[in-house]
Amino acid sequence: MTRSLTILGATGSVGSQALDLVARNPDRWRVEALTANTDVAGLAAAARACGARFAAVADASKGDALRQALAGTGIATGAGPAAVIEAGARDAEIVVTAIVGAAGLEPTMAAVRRGAQLGIANKETLVCAGPVVTAAARAHGATLLPVDSEHNAIFQVFPHDDPAQVERIILTASGGPFRTRSREAMRGASVADACKHPTWSMGAKISIDSATLMNKGLELIEAAQLFPVPVERLDVIVHPQSVIHSMVEYIDGSVLAQLGSPDMRIPIAYAMGWPERIATPAARLNLAEVANLSFEAPDLERFPCLKLAWDAMRAGGSAPCILNAANEIAVAAFIAGQAGFLDIDAIVAETLAMVPHAPMASLEDVLAVDAAARAAARGLVVKRAA
């Protein structure tokens, strides 16, 4: 049976891997909509290749270029943030949310509000607005399926009928490219150094988040939103080989894990095919070749971003949203050469201390806190650079 599919963030690392699965299974999905931020050429090529009905670019100034690139194809186009929200709102059974950052929040909410099946890669949406998104999903009958490999692993071994059987959820972390570096040795790290992930190939923002371990912190908060277990039962272990994607420890002491080669097409296919499993071209796991699996506790002193996120998760309320917004600004400043690698955790910590906590009952509340935290973090970037 052919199912309709939309990919938000189709030109990125996750989006293009989702499109690879579409190309390999032409009868399984019909593509409704694809979106990008600025990459008109990539978006137009992808929309032509899969015969999408609608293509939207978030950058309003690129609307004409997109229209020209798709002239004569019959593919409708749109430009600006509202067009990306429209892509989420269009009638597709499955929506893969692969936009990076809180920019994915409103298009995701548009899909949630019409009860879609969502494959959620865009973790920042759940970090900044988890309670709002999950409440809307319950109210509208939307299904939230995690694409993040850790959460996808947990989803596969989680006792959905009886969460009280869970003693602990253990997220694995590769440790990133600076796993063995001192703080001093991280100080002069370049963007290229920070993006040299040891096991996964990903977009720039998540690669840098992996180098600071903020990515694991965001994933803790994401897990707290996706799985009904108390936050004290969430844990992190560093596992450099990235073979075990995460684990669930049960009250009897049994530990169930999901393993696989580090290829995002496995969790993406799981979410796009659910409840069926789909064949993927991912390399098969050869444990004899891997030979050794190792583990170590995360170092919260060398990687303060993980501690900041852990604390924000425990604090709840607006803290995760402030943390996420500050991190987005700090990482963007690092990429732009306006901040050093070690400025990232400092900016996040200072923003958390500065921005007053506020209610988070609605999407509007979330957007207001997000904007206040971004403004504060931008001010700190300027101050530190002066």
Q: Does 148 bind ligand NDP (CB under 6 A)?
A: yes
Edge-to-edge strand ranges of the sheet holding 234-238:
234-238, 166-173, 244-250, 255-259
Residue 382 structure tokens: 């300027």
Give 245 or 350: the residue with its C-beta nearer to ligand NDP. 245
Rounded distance, CA 111 to CA 343, Å?
36
Q: At what angle do helices 265-273 and 149-157 cross, to 10 degrees?
A: 50
Quote the least distance from Cβ 250 to ligand NDP, whole Å: 26
- Pick out residues in 352-381 that bind ligand NDP (CB under 6 A): none
CB 122 within 8 A of CB 100: yes
Quick one: which segment of 4-12, 157-165, 184-192, 248-256 binds ligand NDP (CB under 6 A)?
A: 4-12
Longest dimension (CA), the chain: 62
55 or 234: whose CB is closer to ligand NDP? 55
Shortest distance in whole angstroms from residue 163 CB to ligand NDP = 23
Tokens of 150: 């850790």
11 binds ligand NDP, rule: CB under 6 A:
yes
Rounded to whole angstroms, the Cα distance separating 29 from 9 reads 17
Residue 118 interacts with ligand NDP (CB under 6 A)? no
Q: CB nearer to ligand NDP: give 117 or 210.
A: 210
* Shortest reach from residue 57's CB to ligand NDP, in Å: 7
Window contacting ligand NDP (CB under 6 A); options: 12-20, 186-194, 300-308, 335-343: 12-20
Closest CA to 172 of 124, 220, 137, 120: 220
At what angle are helices 149-157 and 214-226 packed, to 10 degrees? Answer: 30
What's the rounded Cα separation, in Å, for the pair 305 and 327? 9
How far is residue 50's CA from residue 17's CA, in Å, rounded to a whole number? 13
Other CB atoms closer than 10 Å to residue 131's CB: what's the count? 16
Q: How far is the CB of 151 from ligand NDP (least distance, A)?
A: 9
State how far the alpha carbon of 89 is from the alpha carbons of 33, 93, 113, 141, 250, in Å.
Answer: 10, 11, 8, 15, 39
- SS3 category, 75: coil
202 binds ligand NDP, rule: CB under 6 A:
yes
Altogether, the residues listed in the chain come to a count of: 386
Q: Is 123 in the site for ligand NDP (CB under 6 A)?
A: yes
Binding pattern for the stretch 164-183 against ligand NDP, x by CB under 6 A and - elsewhere:
--------------------
Contacting range for ligand NDP; rule: CB under 6 A; set: 202-210, 291-299, 331-339, 352-360: 202-210
Print the binding letters for residues 203-222 with ligand NDP: x by CB under 6 A, - otherwise.
x-xx----------------
Q: In angstroms, rounded to a whole number, what is the distance separating the alpha carbons of residues 108 and 106?
A: 5
Q: Is residue 86 near ligand NDP by the rule CB under 6 A?
A: no
| C-alpha closest to that of 73 among 91, 88, 90, 52 | 52
Binding mask 95-114 for ligand NDP (x = CB under 6 A): ---xxx--x-----------
- The minimum distance between CB 169 and ligand NDP, in angstroms, equals 17
CB of 273 or CB of 350, closer to ligand NDP? 273
Looking at beta carbons only, is 270 or 350 nearer to ligand NDP? 270
The answer to whether the CB of 40 falls within 8 A of the CB of 65 is yes
Site string for ligand NDP, 46-85 (x = CB under 6 A): ------------x-------------------------x-
Considering only 69, 118, 170, 264, the residue that binds ligand NDP (CB under 6 A) is 264
Task: Select the residue interacting with ligand NDP from 20, 24, 25, 39 (CB under 6 A).
Answer: 39
242: alpha, beta or left? (left if phi > 0; alpha if psi -120 to 50): left
Residues that bind ligand NDP (CB under 6 A): 9-15, 35-39, 58, 84, 98-100, 103, 121-124, 148, 200, 202-203, 205-206, 264
